[in-house]
Amino acid sequence: MTKTQPNKTQEKHLKKSPALARAIIISVFLLCIAAGLLLFFLHREEKNTYSYSPETKILLYHLVRDETYGDYEYLFVKEADFENQLREIQRMGYQTVFADGLSELEQGEKAIVLTFDDGYSDCYETVFPLLKKYGMKATFFISTALLGQENHLTKEQILEMQASGLCRFGSHTVNHIRLDEALTDEAERELEESKKELEALIGEKVTSLAYPNGAYNDLVELLAEKCGYLYCYTTNPPTEPYYENTALPRSYVVRDMTAEEFSAILES
């Protein structure tokens, strides 16, 4: 059969076909994106992301030590002050819960979350004995690259603390980097690897995270969720009645904070 050439009408249709195909592909692509975003936000709603409540007081510590070193003296809470703070928590009738246990609380139940960033050695030397003395729980956020370094917790200390049932451990990334300034791949790697290293050490799921320097943005929140973190903590003080679990607030406790100032946090 002889192959015939297209007539002028057919030529017009043939010229339009590539443009039409491109338009269809772009439309389908945009619809897929819209559907994906819709499913994502529906999924977030289904997860009941608001497990924080005004009755939950989340306290942020770094070090509990009388002697200071380095440039950040205000981070060193005095040992006697810390013990008095535990007594005040007890006097006011608060229970202590772990950083990954907010969703277990009943509505309106009073609770304190004691959190410690960076995993300094005084967490074992000073904080741990006082937790045992008062029967209180605390969560320690660890940068895994710092394990065993000078003035930081060792793996053996972490295992002993965990075995008590009073201490739980969360991620503070591998290298304590600002996640909001990192490339996406680097940020995701820091979140994933620290989680895996901690889980391999303690033999339990790690679902809580404290952003180093309190630095985060929308992308970091999404990456944290993707990596399996259910409770992510900032360094921002609470100013609203409710927060999403990817941006939970904390109240700083610092050196020479008066008893009245501390009580004001618990009463707010």
Q: Walk me through the domains of the chain, giving residue ranges and CATH numbers.
A: 54-267 (3.20.20.370)
Contact 229, 49 (CB under 8 A): no
**Alpha carbon of 266 to those of 42, 58, 127, 198: distances in Å?**
35, 9, 20, 31
Q: What is the mean pLDDT of residues 139-168?
A: 98
| Predicted pLDDT of residue 45 | 43
Measured distance CA(231)–CA(182) in Å, rounded: 21
Q: Which two tokens stand for residue 249?
A: 């607030």
CA distance 175 to 173: 6
At residue 82, does pLDDT exceed 50? yes
pLDDT in tens, 21-70: 566 666 666 665 555 544 444 444 444 445 788 889 999 999 999 999 99
Mean pLDDT along residues 199-220: 97
| Distance (Å) of CA 29 to CA 37, 220, 240 | 13, 25, 38
> Which residues are 113's β-sheet partners?
58
pLDDT of residue 42: 46
Residue 136 near residue 86, CB atoms below 8 Å: yes
Residue 27 is predicted with a pLDDT of 66
pLDDT in tens, 221-244: 999 999 999 999 999 999 998 899
Gap between the Cα atoms of 30 and 27, Å rounded: 5
Helix axes 79-91, 259-267, angle to 10 degrees: 40
Say which residue, 52 or 202, is predicted with more confidence: 202
* pTM recorded for the entire structure: 0.82
* Helices (H) then strands (E): counts for the chain: 8, 10
Which helix (H) or strand (E) segment holds residue 170: the answer is strand 167-171
Task: Note the pLDDT of residue 50.
Answer: 55
